[in-house]
Structures are given as C-alpha cells and as structure tokens.
Structure 1
C-alpha cells in the first residue's frame, strides 16, 4: 500500500524561526508523522532572520526560476532546502528578495506590521502550490499552520480546483492566536485575487468591518485544528456555523499530544474511502 503523503505548510518552524507555539508544532509534527509511516514535505518562508550558513540552506535550481504574480507584478520564486539530520527530514524554503530579505519577520523595528504583509502572504501561498506542482507530489493531507497560510484552502478549492495533483487532498487549517489581519487594508481582496478569481471570491475573508483570515480559511478548509490555548475571539461561533471536523489540539506538555494529529488525519482519510 502506498504511503499517505502529508504536506506541512507553516509560517515558522524551529530551529529556523521561533516566534510562537507554531514553531514547536511545525518542528515536531512532521517528524512524528514521518516516523509513523507517512511521507512528508515541509514548506515555509525563508525570512531574512534565518542564518543560511548555520542551517546550511542551498538553492534547489530545478525548482527555482518561476515567477509569481502578485497584484500584477512578477516576483521571482527561489526555492532553498535544508536538512534536519536528527529528524532525517528536509525543509523547503520559499525565498524572494522583495518580500523576505529584511531582518524582521512580520513587524518592523518599531513593532508595526509591514504594509506588504498581504502581498507576502499571497506570494507565499501561491508559491507553495506552484512548488508542489513542480514536485509532482500529490498530497493526501495539506496541513496549513498560521495566518500566513490562510489563502491556501481558498486557492486549492477555487483557482486550482481542476489541478489533478490536489484532487484527493484534504486541507486542514490550524488556527493560532497570532494573526495580523487588523493591519490589512481593503486592498487585500484585490491582491489575493489570483488566476481569474474575483474580489467576490474573497468574500469569505471579509467580515463587514475588515479582513478576517480565519473566517475565509475555515470556510474553504476540510477540517480545522485549534492550535492555541487562547484562540481568537468569535472562533466558536465561526466553527458552529461551518460544521467542519475540528481537533482541539492537546497541550504540548502532554506526552502523546502528537498522536491526536495522526488520528485526526486518519479519520479524514477514512472519510475519503467511505464517503
């Protein structure tokens, strides 16, 4: 029997970035998944805070060379890779000078969110999908961690819905308590409308007063993980409205907390077999 394939897309991961609980989950979960008999790929942004020499990142020339269009401009996508020897695992990094060279991650030296965070998110989410297409690797599970990945459920279910590689993919969105959507302008829907999507296709990401990334991601995901002990306000109501499978992730101090993720994956994959 073929191994199930799990794509982990994350905005941060220890030891490369360590901003929140996402870093720890994104480091331990793929290794655990791999040790339990599944294939994994991990993709994340190559922020300028990541020391390429220390972590031995190098460019994957066969995957690089694409251009990603964001708001009618072309941005080259560079793919780099590093190995985590203790986990026998590779991590792929999406890089671009305009978006990721700076020496801060999401906020400037004054603590203000970068104005181009929406553009960076669009570039990253579209770049992830195009990179997986270049892999030629059809994931059974696509597990997205954090607000920066929140457009991937939408894109997979709309702009890329006819892409054969993702036809069987179950998309999981993990919600944490560290989003920056309050800094997003009303231009967000225009920027995020890729591949013939319209602003109205982004309607699920609007809440009447501004942008709500979790609302849109939950609508288009097949399942949701509540990854923080203090999730964003209004989440319970949102989940009740959508009626999706939900995993309330156990606290990371619990010895066997990672096994809950595997059980959740298997439940979703069984649904595919027994619709």
Structure 2
C-alpha cells in the first residue's frame, strides 16, 4: 500500500504549528505499520540551506494554473528512509514565511495542481493521497474533475484531514475558473460554494473519499454550530465518512530522558525539580522549589484563552506562583502580557517570540501547564507537558477533553485538571485547586507527575487507525463492478 502525504509544512523542514509536527511524525509511525509513505511539500524559500543542498532535481515540468502554465521543479530528499518531494517555483514560494500572502489562493491552487501533475514522475504510484488542511483542499476536486478518465489516476483515493476548521482558505468566486479551471457545476452548495465565495477547505470536505480530524471529540463538535465555522451542516451530511483520530507526539524527539535542549535529562520527579530551579535562574525569577511555576507555550490568539488569563490575572498572581509565557500572536495580547511582566518582574516572565530550546526547558521546568482554549482540535502542548511531567489544566474541548483525564482525589484516578465552561473564574478555581495539591499534598503531586510521565501518547495506536482507513479504501478499489453496471 502506497500513501502520499500532501501538506504545506513538515517538521523538521518547515513548521509553523501542530500541522508540521503531525506531518513530521505520522509517516514514520505508518512506516512501522508496514505502510509505504512518502511526503510532498512546497519548496519554500525558508527551507534551511542544509536541506536545500541535499535535494536532487528529478524533473522539470509545466503545471496548469487556470489558463496559465507555470514551471515546477520536482526535487527529492530521502530522510530516515522516507522519500520527501519538494515542488519548486520561486515566484510562488521563494519568500520569507509560508502563509499570509495576498496571493495565497493562487499559490496553493498551483501547489494542488502541481501535486497531481507530478505523480507520474514519483518513485511510486500512490494508492491514496492523504491531504492536510485547506492548502491542499483543491487536490480532491481537481483529481475528480480533470484526471478521472486518465488510466494512471484510475481508482486513486483521497483522504482529507481537518487540522483546524477555523482556517479555510476562502477566496472570490473568480478562482473557480481563473485558477482551478472548474466550471459553474462545482459552484453549488454541495461543492466549493461558501457564502458567495470559494472555500478550499470545503473543496476537500466535499470531494475527498474519507474525512478525518485530529480528535474524536472535535469530530463531533464541528458538526455543531458553535464549533462548525458555518460548515457544520455540511459536515453533518458527511458524518458517516468523518473519523476522529487523536494526534500523537514523536516520543523519540520529545523525551526528557534524552532531550539535549533541557538542562538535565530525567525520568523521575527529582530530576524534574533540577530543571525547575535552573529555569527559574535563567529567567531571573526567584529560585524556590516551593513556588508553583505555571506556564503556557502557545500562540497568543483568542482561540487559546488569553482573554481568560487577562481577566483574572490579579487573582492568579495572588496565588504567589510564577507565570511563564512563550509565544507570538496578536499585538494586543503581546502588549498586555509584556506590561504585566514589567509590572510583576518577580512573578511574570513573557517571551513574545518562539524558541524551541526555551519551549523544551519550559515543559521540563514547570509544574503546571495552562491550556484554557476556546476550542482545540487536538492540541500538542498538553501531550508534551504530560510527557515532561508538567500537569495540564485544560478546558474540556476537542482533543484536550480526549487526552487529559481530570484527577479525582476520591478514586485516585486521572493526572490533570480541567474545567467545562469557557469562563475565567472556572479556570481560576481549577488553577487554585491544582496549586492547593502542589502546596499541601506534595507526595500526591509527585505521584501524579510520575503517572503523567508514564503515559503513552505516541503515534502507534493512531497510525493503526489511519492504516485501517487506507485499507478500507484500497479494498473498495478491488471490488468487482456489479453485473449490469
């Protein structure tokens, strides 16, 4: 079985968020399950030079983008026994950054079309194209519209994974024929039409054979109006084809026992304490093992619950803990948090940039990890915090609900803390409860930390679920045609 991952980012080559982590880890887990996986990506200008110099040019072709034909170089790199293909076009991709450009609609129309055009030149013909998020949404509709009669593409199946429904790639109707070369037949309620525009996300949802998203709870949530981003009705129509499969983490890359980024490798509570003291020292906070260190490694956007933090920050600081925040995002949140750090330098440490090394040190050196998200398709932060023995406080939504079992002191079950409503005082109460356990039940806290570190959030079980989906699609290919059809 050959599967081609189609994505706009992949760690360690290019990463802006959780999507990059998934594409950087899931193919290797699938390889261990006996699935032959390769990955195809844009060749961004930000690709490290150490990667670019190892790329081998396989072929140069022209790709149709509406009425135009654009250059596309197919370059290859074998990385840890998996083939990675990079599609080169300097006009579209030789820029600083991956997204957020005025012509993203054209850039990813080119990428989607190019993926299909280059398939005959790759080492293996894929049985399944596994596309990820809105940037690859057009692949499925283009396959059905332009390639269904071509022998090479016969019976090729598509899987489309929603990583975050909020980001949809919505563009004016003109992209339908100007960039995708599609007729008015595709501009309808069960096609690409989205409130008078064209949605690349909806293209993937409408024309892919199977839909998945990154947690079971999120797959249910997005069928409701609050989370559905105006696509809930459409997703309810396709609910029988929609599967929620929880993300995992790369437990080789993220492992406190061999992580070279943290201060001291550890596999016990005592080793974690050493990292805490060194983190406090580096960030010029009072060095005291008895002060609870509360952290966030996050994007500073509304989705992540920053408003809740700011609403009760004074009450939080009266708990006499230390708050460490690492991340970038909206200017209003960055400014507000920086002002807090200036006002309370012995309690608040804010870093409005992203630094992978500092992130690992924060996971290792914190006591409590805060994720009060408004919605969270899966979330990686809580999985990493658990791996490093930092107990998460989460709102019960999406993947946070699926992965964090709240601690029950009566049954001694669970390993984290959670609250249901998107409410600042509910969050504050949960934080107060966690801090109480930290201060007054130290032996129980130590037991919870070591329980969290023993959990398995690797990709092993999730990759088996994806393999089942691929096998079901391939078995469909081999079914004989009914008599008389």
Do both share a fold (TM > 0.5)? yes
- State the shift of 1:157 in Å: 1.1
Q: Does 1:179 align with 2:163?
A: no
- State the shift of 1:180 in Å: 5.0
Distance 1:187 1:30, change over 3 A: same
| More divergent stretch after superposition (185-194 vs 95-104) | 185-194
Partner of 1:259: 464
Matches within 5 A, 1:32-111: 32-54=29-51, 56-61=53-58, 63-64=59-60, 66-84=61-79, 87-107=80-100
Q: Contact 1:56–1:82 at 8 Å: present in 2 too?
A: no
Distance 1:26 1:172, change over 3 A: same
Cα distance in 2, alignment partners of residues 115 and 200 from structure 1: 27
| More divergent stretch after superposition (87-96 vs 230-239) | 230-239
Q: Contact 2:168–2:201 at 8 Å: present in 1 too?
A: no
SS of the aligned residue for 1:269 comes to: helix
Cα distance in 1, alignment partners of residues 246 and 238 from structure 2: 22
Cα distance in 2, alignment partners of residues 214 and 58 from structure 1: 30
Q: TM-score, normalised by structure 2?
A: 0.50
Q: Does 1:198 align with 2:183?
A: yes
Cα distance in 1, alignment partners of residues 214 and 231 from structure 2: 12
Cα distance in 2, alignment partners of residues 54 and 133 from structure 1: 24
- State the shift of 1:26 in Å: 1.0
Alignment root-mean-square deviation, CA: 2.3
Cα distance in 2, alignment partners of residues 52 and 130 from structure 1: 27
Q: TM-score, normalised by structure 1?
A: 0.85
- State the shift of 1:76 in Å: 0.8
For residues 205-233 of structure 1, give each alpha carbon's deviation from its aligned partner in whole angstroms, at most 9, with x where no partner exists: 11233232222222211000113658652
Higher relative contact order (CA 8 A, sep 6+): 1
For residues 12-64 of structure 1, give each alpha carbon's deviation from its aligned partner in whole angstroms, at most 9, with x where no partner exists: 10011111221111112222222222222210111111113346442424x22
* Counterpart pick for 1:208 among 188, 192, 195: 195
- State the shift of 1:166 in Å: 2.1
Distance 1:41 1:251, change over 3 A: closer
Structure 1 segments, 4+ long, off by >6 Å, are none
